[in-house]
Structure 1
Amino acid sequence: MTKAEIRKKAVVQRRGLSEEEIAVYSQRLLSHFTSFNLTGVHTIHVFLPIAEQKEPDTFLFIDWLARLHPEIRIIVPKADFETALMHNYVYTGREGLLKNIYKILEPAGGELHTGAVDMVLVPMLAFDLRGYRAGYGKGFYDRFLQGLDTRKIGLSFFGPVEEIDDINVHDVALDCCITPEKVYYF
């Protein structure tokens, strides 16, 4: 299947989820994440959930990290739609976030992070058995991850498709993907 076909199918799957299912699945994703070894991790990039798209509740991850690993710096993205690039800002709390015109929560301002990133939680609509993902099609995360030496961890409410047919040289494979049922390693 192509990314476009996969996107259509994944959007329908997500729309069928209830708020209760999203909460339960998000908690299961976090449960798997809590078993990861975070030794040597100093900075984690966490995408902020788009509630209207029924994305995983990554605030659960942020809150857990802040409680149990306060030494880890949490950074969150802000998209520049003119350049199609993302910039990372140090997360300071929900009160410092605003929705942009695409209903994506972003930091209103704050400290720009330009240093190393040890781990990235990556959003997606779907992924395949090789670790490639289908996102919303703008390429923000592929550009961000290109050449970045970091652990790339996807979060998905659903298991993998067998193969995404139209992978290109700009697509960056994940190291693993967490689903409510299990963690897939690539």
Structure 2
Amino acid sequence: MNKRSARALAKARVKTLSDAEKLIKSGVIVNDVLSFVDENGIKSVFVYKSSDDEVQTNAIIDGLFERGVKVYIPKISGDLMRLSVISKKSKFVRNIFGIFETTDDGEDFFDAELNIVPLVAFDKTLTRLGHGKGYYDRYLEKATGRILALAYDCQEIDEIDSETHDVKMQLVITESGRKGG
């Protein structure tokens, strides 16, 4: 399926989920992510601050803080995505895309042990389809840690057309479990 059609289909499917369903599904995903962190002894994680239609990440971030994990979130700088270290006291603002980020400048850092990324859709080969701006693909080309995406089951599409710059996920966690390895 072409990217435009896949995005439209996945977004329409997510829109059918009630807030309560998203909250329940997100809770299951959060528990699995934190178990994954514990199982692998992960000490540094890059994660996004979620929007309303994404798997909710605030509980993941809180769980990472409780475990003493160093947490980074994205900061858009021109056509690049940089990382900002956050703490429980960090202040957040919405950027030009409506995404939460910190007020500091961020840094060019690619060595988080785990990179947790959002997506609009994915397929059985773990091709990730984002919003189409390419920020995550450019970042992930240089990232050294594992790449994990969070999604609802309804965001899985049979097949998504991919391009050479599209970075495949190593693992996708949904409410029904882990896909990939």
Q: TM-score, normalised by structure 1?
A: 0.88
CA distance in 1, matches of 2:110, 2:3: 32
Which letter does structure 2 place at the counterpart of 1:138? K
- CA drift of 1:168 comes to 1.1
SS of equivalent residue, structure 2 residue 165? coil
CA 1:161–1:111: 2 relative to 1, 3 Å: closer
Which letter does structure 2 place at the counterpart of 1:73? K
2:110 and 2:139 in contact (8 A); partners too = no
Which letter does structure 2 place at the counterpart of 1:158? D
CA distance in 2, matches of 1:137, 1:85: 14
Question: Are 1:161 and 2:157 counterparts?
Answer: yes
CA distance in 2, matches of 1:115, 1:9: 32
- CA drift of 1:35 comes to 2.4
**CA deviation map 1:128-149 (0-9, x unaligned):** 1111111101111110000322
Question: Are 1:184 and 2:170 counterparts?
Answer: no
CA distance in 2, matches of 1:149, 1:16: 36
Deviates more, 1:167-176 or 1:86-95: 86-95
CA 1:86–1:111: 2 relative to 1, 3 Å: closer
1:96 and 1:109 in contact (8 A); partners too = no
User: What does residue range 9-88 of structure 1 map to in structure 2 within 5 Å?
Assistant: 9-36=9-36, 37-39=39-41, 41-51=42-52, 54-67=53-66, 69-70=67-68, 72-80=69-77, 82=78, 84-88=79-83
Which letter does structure 1 place at the counterpart of 2:60? F
Any stretches of 5+ residues in structure 1 without a counterpart?
Answer: none
Give the % identical residues. 28
Deviates more, 1:14-23 or 1:111-120: 111-120
SS of equivalent residue, structure 1 residue 34? helix
CA distance in 2, matches of 1:114, 1:148: 8
- CA drift of 1:3 comes to 1.2
Q: TM-score, normalised by structure 2?
A: 0.91
CA 1:46–1:106: 2 relative to 1, 3 Å: same
Which letter does structure 2 place at the counterpart of 1:124? L
Give the number of equivalent residue pairs.
178
CA 1:162–1:99: 2 relative to 1, 3 Å: same
CA distance in 2, matches of 1:6, 1:28: 25
2:10 and 2:157 in contact (8 A); partners too = no
- CA drift of 1:115 comes to 5.9
CA 1:2–1:144: 2 relative to 1, 3 Å: same
User: What does residue range 125-164 of structure 1 map to in structure 2 within 5 Å?
Assistant: 125-159=120-154, 160-164=156-160
- CA drift of 1:100 comes to 1.6
**CA deviation map 1:105-145 (0-9, x unaligned):** 01111664636211100100111111111110111111000
2:65 and 2:88 in contact (8 A); partners too = no
Question: Are 1:174 and 2:160 counterparts?
Answer: no
